[in-house]
Each structure stands twice: as C-alpha cells, then as structure tokens.
Amino acid sequence: MQLDVVGVFSPDLWGFLLLLGASLLSLTSLLAPWLSLASDLLPAERFDLSLWGGCVVHDGGPLQCRPHPGLLALPPHLLWARVLTGASLGFSLLALLLTAPGLQVVHSWGSRQKRVLLGVGGALSLVAGLLVLVPVSHVARLASLSRFDPSLPPVAPRWEKGGALYSGWAAAGMHLGAGALLIATCYRQRGGAPETDARGAPHPPGAPIRRTERV
C-alpha cells in the first residue's frame, strides 16, 4: 500500500475526514445526555437523561447516576433514538472501512474498484446521516413542546435539549456532506481518468486487471 502526496487535497480525502469526524460526533451523541430537567425551585440541581441512564447533577456536589433497568423502562422515543443512533454509528464505521482503501492517496486497488468503494461508502454515509437526524429532531421537537406547553404551571420543571441533540445535528450534517463528496468523486472519476490497476498504471479498456502478488 502506497500513499500519493498529490491526492492529499482530493475531495474524497476531505469526505473521508468529514466521515471520521461525523463518526466521533455520533458516538458522542450516543453517550451524552439527550434531555435535561431543571426547575426554578431547585436551581442548583438538574436531572440529565441519556440513552443509557439518568444522572442527578448538583452544582459543586457529587454526580449520582443510575442506568436504565432495561429497554422496556425507556420511553418509546428514547428507545427508538437508541436503536437508530446505534445503527447510524454502525453504518458510519462500515462506511469508513469501505472508503479508506478507495481513497486516491492509497494505491491498493484499481480505479474501478475504488469507484465502487467510494460510491458504497458515500451511500452508507448518507444513510447514517438520516438515521441520526430523525431521532434527534424528534426528541428536540418533544422537548420544545414540553418547554412551551401553556398547560403547565410556570414553576413546573420542563425538559430542555441536551448536548447529544446538538452533537447529533452536527453528525447528521457532516455525514450528509461526506456522502455527497464521496459520491460526487465517484461520478467524477467515472468520466475522467482511464482505468488503472493497483499500481496506478493504465490498462486497455475491457482488459482484466492483473493482480500482482506482494511479498
């Protein structure tokens, strides 16, 4: 496997870096609090709810956390958020594994195989972006409805958006951007440079690519 310094500024590499950052943000969204419950009666205390448990946060005091007793104990919207966000992270990691050998800076496959890898990786990145966008937007909508519910008294505690929602929105945007870059690179290479083998040497159209054995 060889590296091409000229391809450092290629769009497929930037798409791969965006995909890597989106994967990290998806992991953050999977672990961080999704909702926070605070009240004016107890300003020094709040309750953070994540996909894995709940924590009582005291200003200047210890953090008390308790995991969810099971999947059935989760509210339906958080249960689906846990499933979809986990699936998004899985699709994102699979897209990373497929995209890495298809980058222009890596000489390990022929150009045709690289286009297939970039195209599949870009499609998986788009799916991952949609999978994380749907639950964070739905939970944010429920939090907004709870916050501005006129039927609740002014002193009643209300749910507020947690940090995981903002991480999820950023992850969704980066996933969609990375997928668009990778698919655009795939189509650009399809109508551009001639077919090459794993060593970067061109070969006649329709001729089979000879694989060289490496010691």
pTM recorded for the entire structure: 0.79
* Contacting residues for 58 by C-beta, under 8 A, at least 6 apart: 44, 45, 64
pLDDT tens, position by position, for the chain (215 residues)? 444 454 556 788 899 999 999 999 999 999 999 998 877 666 677 888 889 988 888 776 667 888 888 877 788 888 999 999 999 999 999 999 999 888 888 777 677 888 899 999 999 999 999 999 999 999 999 888 877 777 776 667 778 889 999 999 999 999 999 999 999 988 887 655 555 444 545 544 444 544 444 43
Provide the phi-psi class of 93: left if phi over 0, else alpha when psi is between -120 and 50, else beta: alpha
- The single-letter DSSP state of residue 55 is E
Task: Of 119, 124, 161, give the one whose Cα is nearest residue 142.
Answer: 161
Give Cα separations from 118 to 43, 179, 181, 187 (angstroms). 50, 9, 9, 10
Classify 153 as helix, strand or coil.
Answer: coil
